[in-house]
Structure 1
């Protein structure tokens, strides 16, 4: 790590990795979906959580860590640094096999990172990437680290009750980013709002699953109970109130206090439902909405870095906003700006430079 403290820090490179297995809307797993409000947290979640046409799913025996490591290698390559240059690795693999350690430690091993590389699992579903991005920027600007790798992976298709409508759009994926001095996308500001009175509305734990009185306890290959996600009755109210209007309110206030017009922003949000995306687009009116719900479904914590990586080299707006919803219950938004760098054009014996994005 260099002893020089940089004036700014930003994202140097991104990468993502997807399982090859496709799951379409006519997949047999969705035959268990129940439209009975009694089975769906008090409202028709099947009608609410729509918009996905296909999604990627881990095959039997396939591990999300493999994709986390692959995405990390792509991010390091784009950033033009090697594993030996990584001072810290932030992020999360969800859902992990163990309460602790998180699978981020396995990714550390798979990448051959130094024994001195600090591993920082961040369990703030689904804002893990956003939180890591803010913390990584602060660490680099303070001079306590030079290059930080952030990687998030989701295997949530293996941890859902497929009688519930919120399971319909789920997809698996992993993505990574490298933060370092003078990256091309730099954190400008961030904001969060926590409604802790609703912290039990969205939970992942071991539980009986099923509809119409035919519940069972999901087990792994060793016969041990595995965690399953649930959105309780209060969760439906959270989605239709706190998340529906709270997210655009938070984003718009973040933009206002930084003097940024929404037309100057490329927006990346949680993508659990087409209804949510359309409502947020109407309330925020971004210059571009970077999302992949139709093709990749709801990738939970991997949604934000996957969409960022897909568009990293083609973003045309001067700003990017990442806006997450999450368990807890919380909302987080991060405002990033594209760094203006000199473009140098060289000719024989002369050189000219001008500023451009």
Structure 2
């Protein structure tokens, strides 16, 4: 991935819904607090949360994505008409196709020559988008690429399940272009598709107050919901738990980088995983907003990046996450030119 033309982050932005949901919200009254067949209380697995922002009836995740892009462009000092490509995803989308990323293109006023590239790689869409955007800039096929993700999954959750307690909504964006700061220098992935059905979003009947029914949206149409089955729980406690530090440490070793030289941003939904990764990787700085923002699915990475961007003081930055496929991804950035790094 060596090239004289560096591709890095020029600016970031994020936007959260106005409404804040606390742990005592009535929506959690249906939470199943029983032990499953494997002896696990899913209701206590997802702990360490206090607040999560959730879309209100007058808010649109597409609008939040557009606002986060505008903030990223403003921070970078780049005009919307100069953007060559728009990578990312808006999830759960209003339509099966097209994705609302095309609406974002319209609302931003991007050029008709600006390519829209939806990346349906839940939940690490943003990481994949960063890699593709950097490659486009380095190759000279693009100058400025917006990468953005927005998640409205609080509206697509079975609130009897333990994982419902961690989900929040949000949107974030980053502009990637020619730069000698926050340069994308490498990435790594590992894929285990034997877990393909461990966590799925689909239209399915739910049991609510002892009644079996298909959830519907405000118009009365069936709406998809997330299902994290027993295999999904096992993934979190085994493959995901150990896979993230193994992948990140492999990436760092490749470049002779120590954990105490990086700021780390990861997938976040379970406190015990964050604590385990902090111990195994040993970052100097760990961006942890689980208690304040919850798990924002695909928006977790760009929101936490934008939230912490101006405070990152380490020589390197690593973002590591999970695609529900199942694939782990990690992206390595160098925050300053080598001659300025200490």
TM-score, normalised to structure 2's length?
A: 0.96
Residue of structure 2 in register with 1:18 after alignment: 16
Deviation at 1:285, TM superposition (A): 0.9
Residue of structure 1 in register with 2:302 after alignment: 305
Pairing partner for 1:261 from 238, 258, 261: 258
Q: Within 1, Cα distance between the matches of 2:259 and 2:145?
A: 29
Residue of structure 2 in register with 1:346 after alignment: none
- SS of the residue aligned with 1:268? strand
In the alignment, structure 1 segments of 5+ residues that lack a partner are: 343-354
TM-score, normalised to structure 1's length?
A: 0.92
- SS of the residue aligned with 1:52? coil
- Note the 1:1-357 alignment, pairs <5 A: 7-38=5-36, 43-182=40-179, 184-210=181-207, 213-340=210-337, 355=340
CA deviation map 1:174-216 (0-9, x unaligned): 0000000015211111111111011010100001123674332
Q: Within 2, Cα distance between the matches of 1:90 and 1:277?
A: 28
Residue of structure 2 in register with 1:347 after alignment: none
Q: Are the counterparts in 1 of residues 180 and 337 from structure 2 also a CA contact under 8 Å?
A: no
CA deviation map 1:225-260 (0-9, x unaligned): 111001111111111111111111111111111110
In the alignment, structure 2 segments of 5+ residues that lack a partner are: none
Structure with greater Cα Rg? 1
Q: Within 2, Cα distance between the matches of 1:6 and 1:68?
A: 32
The number of residues matched between the two structures is 340
**Structure 2 vs 1, CA of residues 110 and 183 (structure 1 numbering), >3 Å: closer, same or farther?**
farther
- SS of the residue aligned with 2:64? helix
Q: Are the counterparts in 2 of residues 41 and 232 from structure 1 also a CA contact under 8 Å?
A: no
**Structure 2 vs 1, CA of residues 170 and 74 (structure 1 numbering), >3 Å: closer, same or farther?**
same
**Structure 2 vs 1, CA of residues 192 and 87 (structure 1 numbering), >3 Å: closer, same or farther?**
same
Q: Are the counterparts in 2 of residues 129 and 301 from structure 1 also a CA contact under 8 Å?
A: yes
CA deviation map 1:151-192 (0-9, x unaligned): 100100000000000110111000000000015211111111
Q: Within 2, Cα distance between the matches of 1:321 and 1:127?
A: 13
